[in-house]
Amino acid sequence: MELPPVFAGIDVSKAQLDVALTGSDETWTVPNVPDGIAQLVQRLEERPPTLVVLEATGGFEVAAAAALAAAEIPVVIANPRQVRDFAKSTGQLAKTDAIDAHILALFAERVRPQVRPLPDDAARALDAIVGRRRQIIDMITAESNRLGFALPAVQKGIKKHIRWLERQLSDIDSELDELIRKSPAWRAKSDLLRDVPGVGPNLARTLIAELPELGRLSNKQIAALVGVAPLARDSGLFRGKRRIWGGRAPVRSALFMSSLSASKWNPVIRVFYRRLRDRGKSPKVAHVACMRKLLIILNAMIRDGRKWDPAIPLDQLRLQHSC
């Protein structure tokens, strides 16, 4: 008799991995170290699950996910908020490691999230350095704000720290550029992106590191993934305002800054922005629409390997998207 499919959920912490399988009330635990991960893979290989789901936990899940993928066991790293909302929808409000593992297994069975290739070591390194760059910028901003209210006794130390942080930022930018230059694929993608007026080095690095799906998804899918697709809020006769929500905040932030520049210097985006403003759209709404339009243009360029040319009609890029 054919056995029913099995789905696995793994609750990840720094110290351990709690594992649950559908069809069983039991959980088992292994330490989150190489030997423990090897035990996990060996045990799952005895009866390979249809899908394994782990929660994203700030990097503690990477080693286990990589080992499972290397063993050709389908694995997905899920968004914690999505999993928690799923748990609430089932009426499960309590939260323990064992409960979370069972919820993740049930999530794998019911939702069946799409399995995507995990980033390699170089891609993870690039993503980590881009994340560190954001942290340093946040620290520079915080110290600059403190400087405005600091007493003379501490101003010298704050200024010294800001100068040190700025040197760190410069070093990180050089390191990012070097990583991209070493990869022919990344270098080619960066050259295409930076050829577009309004797209600077920061947006190009962010898209390469944090949006590897660029050029692989449809325009609607890529806009939804980043979080720049307007979501309907209608019910009965009520018609609410469309708003953007969710998505990848770091990509959206970098895209917003580029859209400000593109609305002035990119001939296509500038005309589009002006047309929206003339129709009475607020500056914020117009800029969000420009973010979406710019992202869709970049998605089409990467997909087709086409260089930027403002003379090419947008429909030739197969945008198929209305802003």
Give the amino acid at 260: L
Q: What distances in angstroms separate CA 24 from CA 56, 167, 303, one per listed residue?
A: 24, 55, 44
Computed on alpha carbons and rounded to an integer, the radius of gyration of the chain in Å comes to 23
Q: What is the arithmetic mean of pLDDT over 292-319?
A: 80
| Secondary structure of residue 105 in the 3-state scheme | helix
When pLDDT is cut at 50, 70 and 90, the band that residue 279 belongs to is: very high
pLDDT of 26 strictly over 50: yes
E strand map for the chain: 7-12, 16-21, 27-31, 51-55, 75-78, 234-235, 238-239
Residue 184: alpha-carbon gap to chain centroid? 23
Q: What's the average model confidence in pLDDT over 265-279? A: 94
Contact status, residue 321 vs residue 295, Cβ threshold 8 Å: no
- As beta bridge partners, residue 221 has none
**Strand locations in 84-203, DSSP E?**
none
What is the reported pLDDT for 25? 86
pLDDT above 50 for 323: no
- Closest by alpha carbon to 244, among 291, 209, 211, 199? 291
Query: What are the domain boundaries of the chain?
Result: 7-111, 120-182, 189-323
In this prediction, residues 40-64 reach a mean pLDDT of: 90
| Fold of the domain spanning 7-111 | Nucleotidyltransferase; domain 5 (3.30.420)
Query: Model confidence over 83-117: pLDDT tens digits?
Result: 999 999 989 888 899 999 999 999 999 999 988 87
pLDDT at 289: 94
User: What pTM value is reported for the model?
Assistant: 0.75
Reported as a pLDDT band with limits 50, 70 and 90, residue 229 is confident
